[in-house]
Structure 1
Amino acid sequence: MLDSYFKLQEHGTNVRTELIAGLTTFLTMAYIIFVNPQILATTGMDQSAVFVATCLAAALGSAIMALYANWPIAMAPGMGLNAFFAFTVVGALGFTWQQALGAVFISGCIFLILTVTGVRRWLVAGIPHSMRSAIAAGIGLFLGIIALKNAGIVVTSEATSVTLGHMMAPAPMLAMLGFFIIAALDALKVTGAILIGILVVTLISIAAGFSDFGGIVDTPPSIAPTFLQLDVVGALGVGIVHVVLVFVLVEVFDATGTLIGVAKRAGLLEEGPSHTSPQLGKALLADSSAIVAGSFLGTSSTTAYVESASGVQAGGRTGLTALTVAVLFLAALFFAPLAGSVPAFATAPALLFVACLMARELTDIDWDDITEAAPAALTAMMMPFTYSIANGLAFGFISYAALKLLTGKARDVHAATWLVAGLFLIRFAFFQE
């Protein structure tokens, strides 16, 4: 039955290989069940409910990808988007978390429309490569400063805005230990390096009395505090327009790039710039639907995970890999006490390591062309320095369009870039906080 539904023989794989690939992918991305609840809890959301929503959103999204698109790509609430949700939309702009969930729902609906109509591909094709790389790197730097703050390594200062914290304190020391463990294990090609790092620091913290131990396994907590709590009406105010725009833009670039990149590695796409595949349209629809579902459950935007490449490397070629991930996320629901025992400085190393990986995108920027390099650098710098992904995108797109116009290269700019730059200009002109 499995062979018939997932076409295992046609893809040159078997049930055992797919199950191992699914387990591999799950281990590399399971850190999200610890990190996402902690980030969203800063908004006032119930951490236990977010834990359940995270597991369910990941399971549902991965199952849709498996059963509808038959691709070995797992889904879960996205890193970067959860930070934007918590620290910018709620923390800086002052919206309620219910309104933020409403914005996620609206962005998901727009994302679905863009996918069905083909505009999503037009947007991706129209955004300069240097800007796409800068967006990824900038989000990485944003995650980096969040990680360093959570660990107490970077603290506020009246004189210099930020400064180095007391490195001999338990939190900074354990956070750096966790980072070294994760980076070393990853260099040694150990599966689940991030998850292992989080658990080791948590165990040391509990043993040393720096954090409390709540247990390991128990019945899943209630999802009621976040389930169907989105405030769509409240999110329809003009002040949140640019928030939805950022959600959509990051979802478009992140999810589409991940889908195409992992699918190419799995040999599921035809060669060439068009990246054609009969299943690509279904995969795009699957990840769009997962965003809407996640907003109902009570979590920030769900997206395709680049960690799926680890499962592909292990031989995963069909939706059975993603379905295995979905089942494992459902099983993870019973580990809520363990998730609640993880201190913030234990997840900080995971954020910092992901930040380092995303910062590698800076190497793909054309640094010899200042009209490409300057906007890209502004994009990457403004995200951590203003504590906002939205501001980084705005400065990047506006400066890109302006520099191309002033240097006589306006014809080189795709209409999609002009559109996004124009929308951000309107945001600054009329909706500045």
Structure 2
Amino acid sequence: MYLQTTIIAIVMVATFALASWKLKSPEISMVITAIVGALVGGFGFPSRLLVEGMFTYFDVGLIFLTASIFINIYSETGAMNALVRWIVKQFYDKKWLMLILLGILMIIPGALTGAGSVSIFVVGGLVSSVMNYMGFSKKRIAAFIYLFAMLAAVAPPINLWAMLMAAQANMPYVGFGVVLMVPIIIIASFTILYTGLSKTPERKTKTEILEELPQPPAGMNWFKILVPFGVLLVLILLMQYAAFYIPVLGLPLTFMICAFISIGMDKERWKVKKWYNVMVKTVDQVFPLLGTVISVGVLVNIMTATGVKGLLAITFITLPMAFIYITALIFAPFAQGSLSYGSAIILGTPIIFLFNSMGLNVTVTAAALSFLFPLGDCLPPSRIVGRLTVETVGYEGSYMSFLKAIAIPWLFMGAIGLLMLLFPNQLRFLVVY
């Protein structure tokens, strides 16, 4: 049985490598790998397993989609443009405070959707333009936007890597707020220092920047800017601290409520076609990532049926701990580059089981791994966030030079994640329920 499962695993790895090389699509490659694995495992064409796998992470995909709809509708109202203009007006002459606020602006969309790519879609262009006006080089801008997009994806309330690992390990997705935010603050501070201390040529004046930034619509004010996020915060807090006194809403419905409130804040609230087009555009925008979540579910379902998932888990559990620590900063990012969110399940879940059997804090462990996996979003074959960053910034050098440009803050983020993985029990005081 062990030999048979090993053969299936080898065939699936070879299939995935060949499909990724030829098709350049991790999602299609994962589905093809799943079908080949089922055929080799004696399941025939696995129609039922494929359909079941497509719905494995339906709830995660629904959260991702509804959160993206909310943030795109909010942006369409002009509130985001107004916020950026206000930041420039008030803080353009205060470089450090300006960088802090731009970093926070980058984090918000990704934190609410679980995808750093959404942060780049929504505010990446504006942040890049402002930093360009401030005189920063393309390399520093690329490093800033990429790292903050990664931090946005890791930030609570939606950390997809931690959510997927928690779901697979049958552990509740609670207690991640502080244990994620403290490292994020440390990494963000380092990235801001790394960016701000670089030499900058003569920059444009505040007046020139304001003339080139998009104008917010007439009537936009602080009430309209803050109400949607205020309602979101209140609903999330009520679900957490008053769960027995309110109906079960769930995050997808919460995001849709806030999306409708954002529409209500717009003067063109009755133009149904406008908001329909925003939602269609959002679906097109997030479809690749939804496809990733669906294909990950298909692959994991087939791996479970064939025993390959169990084989990987047993193999990881029997590895020397030193090997896991030494190779974590290599295997985790490259697994993300190949398997996207599937890396959290295929590699992350066995590590959680292993650490749990040793009495180590699994919440800190899952948080640590969620800092290591997203580093691979700039690595082949997928390079999802890396490609978006290059396109948004207008980086003209080679992709390898882009990787060199982000190397220092990239390694710092990896080092923080590795330290958390090494000392989970010492950091368990950060787990606040």
Work out whether the TM-score is over 0.5: no
Name whichever structure is richer in helix by fraction: 2
Q: Whose relative contact order is higher, 1 or 2, with alpha carbons under 8 Å and at least 6 apart? A: 1
Q: What TM-score comes out, normalization by structure 2 length?
A: 0.28
**Higher Rg:** 2
